[in-house]
Amino acid sequence: MDRRAYETQMMRNKKTVELIHEGRFAAEVEIELHYSDESWSPTMSGADALKLEAVREALRSGDVREAAKHGRIFEMTPVAAE
């Protein structure tokens, strides 16, 4: 098989940060996107999707400690415009 043809069929992975905002909290969660030549690219693993959902649910219920197991958590503070 030609090396170039093999390389174009390989799946490429890229780590990225997904931002989740719930109420007064936000989270940065690292996930891995999988790029391929298929029409549904990029995709993420089922485990990463479950991790994002777990963080979203933890933030929604106010469980910052649980959400922090999966990423960096921020508390958002409103700023009054003058």
Residue 10 in domain: yes
Query: Which pLDDT belongs to residue 62?
Result: 93
Positive or negative, the CA dihedral 25, 60, 34, 39 is negative
pLDDT in tens, 8-26: 556 799 999 999 999 999 9
Query: Which pLDDT belongs to residue 41?
Result: 83
Residue 81 in domain: no
Instruction: Point out the residues of the chain with pLDDT beneath 70.
Output: 1-10
User: Per the confidence metrics, is the pTM higher than 0.75?
Assistant: yes
Query: Which pLDDT belongs to residue 9?
Result: 56
Residue 51 in domain: yes
Q: Which domain holds residue 31?
A: 3-75
Query: Which pLDDT belongs to residue 49?
Result: 97
Query: Which pLDDT belongs to residue 76?
Result: 93
Number of domains in the chain: 1
Residues 6+ apart with CB under 8 A from 41: 34, 35
Distance CA 65, CA 16 (A): 22
